[in-house]
């Protein structure tokens, strides 16, 4: 299985299943985004970007990562 990506307007969340230790920290603490019983299991629009980033930083294995998108310039 390879790394999968999930995007909202502000960030891309990536998930590497090889690294995941199934600690369930993400699914227990932010279940609107990380859901065991749903495919796809990550809903990047399930909570605010800041909440998602905060949760990703708690992933003990490093399986979850994120990249912020560059802001569009307004003219
Ligand atoms: S917090 Fe990280 S290690 Fe734990 S289940 Fe979620 S992705 Fe896997």
Distance of CA 34 from the midpoint of ligand 1 (Å): 9
Residue 59: predicted pLDDT: 98
pLDDT at 15 over 80: yes
Distance of CA 64 from the midpoint of ligand 1 (Å): 7
Distance of CA 35 from the midpoint of ligand 1 (Å): 11
pLDDT band of 73, cuts 50, 70, 90: low
CA distance 31 to 56: 13
Read off the pLDDT of residues 21-69 as tens digits, 9 standing for 90 and up. Answer: 999 999 999 999 999 999 999 999 999 999 999 999 999 999 999 999 9
Mutate to test the pocket of ligand 1, among 36, 57, 63, 65 (most ligand atoms within 8 A of CB): 63
Domains of the chain: 4-68 (3.30.70.20)
Ligand 1 site: residues with CB under 6 angstroms? Answer: 20-26, 59-61, 63-64
User: What's the DSSP call for residue 19?
Assistant: T
Residue 51: predicted pLDDT: 98
Contact 66, 56 (CB under 8 A): yes
Average pLDDT score over the chain: 94
CA distance 41 to 59: 15
């Amino acid at each position: 299985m390879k790394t999968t990506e999930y995007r909202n307007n502000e960030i891309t969340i990536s998930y590497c299943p090889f690294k995941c230790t199934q600690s369930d920290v993400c699914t227990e603490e932010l279940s609107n985004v990380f859901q065991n019983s749903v495919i796809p299991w990550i809903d990047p629009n399930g909570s605010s970007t800041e909440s998602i980033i905060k949760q990703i930083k708690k992933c003990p294995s490093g399986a979850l990562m994120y990249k912020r998108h560059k802001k569009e310039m307004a003219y």
